[in-house]
């Protein structure tokens, strides 16, 4: 495993992430819905009581990175057994095509709680996009 590193003056926390040559799946374009971004900003603001604007944006980005890293590493989070097994099967079929030339892979779904707010992360089956959203937005 390697670590996603940021400028040490900005953020010293290391985030574990799969190496590019061993990725289980492709994220595609990352999208954060307006409601999810509002909650992420609220959480970042609570964690940054005395900091300035730069520290606030760093905290907001670290929360986004944390969610995406957990999703990319297939952490179980708030998933039930069925959804977790479907994620594992989707990764097992990554890049494979059936006899008709259709992709066999399916969507990958994650659910994580940060400060009692549940976030869903969905990577589409075509791997063109990954969306962070709140459950009520689905």
pLDDT per residue as tens digits for the range 18-31: 444 556 788 899 99
User: Where do the structural domains in the chain lie, given as residue ranges?
Assistant: 30-137
> In this structure, are strands 15-17 and 117-123 parallel, antiparallel, or unpaired?
unpaired
Average pLDDT, the chain: 81
Q: What's the confidence (pLDDT) of residue 6?
A: 35
What is the distance between the alpha carbons of residues 75 and 73, in angstroms, rounded to a whole number? 6
Cβ-proximal residues to 53 (8 Å cutoff; 6+ apart), any chain: none
CA-CA-CA-CA dihedral for 85, 88, 94, 98, to nearest 10: -30
pLDDT per residue as tens digits for the range 56-109: 888 888 999 999 999 999 999 999 999 999 998 888 888 788 888 887 788 999
Task: Give the three-class secondary structure for 52.
Answer: coil
pTM (2 d.p.): 0.77
The helix (H) or strand (E) run that includes residue 123 is: strand 117-123
Question: How many residues are present in the chain?
Answer: 138
pLDDT classification of 48: cutoffs 50, 70, 90: low
Task: Give the three-class secondary structure for 47.
Answer: helix
Alpha carbon of residue 129 to chain centroid:
11
């Amino acid at each position: 495993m390697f670590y996603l590193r940021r400028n040490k003056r900005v953020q010293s926390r290391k985030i574990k992430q799969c190496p590019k040559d061993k990725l289980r799946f492709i994220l595609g374009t990352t999208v954060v819905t307006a409601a999810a971004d509002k909650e992420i900003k609220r959480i970042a603001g609570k964690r940054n009581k005395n900091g300035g604007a730069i520290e606030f944006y760093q905290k907001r980005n670290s929360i986004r990175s944390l969610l995406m890293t957990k999703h990319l590493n297939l952490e179980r989070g708030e998933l039930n057994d069925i959804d977790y097994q479907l994620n594992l099967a989707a990764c097992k079929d990554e890049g494979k095509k059936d006899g008709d030339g259709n992709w066999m892979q399916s969507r990958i779904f994650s659910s994580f709680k940060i400060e009692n707010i549940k976030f869903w992360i969905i990577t589409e089956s075509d791997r063109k996009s990954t969306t962070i959203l709140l459950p009520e937005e689905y």
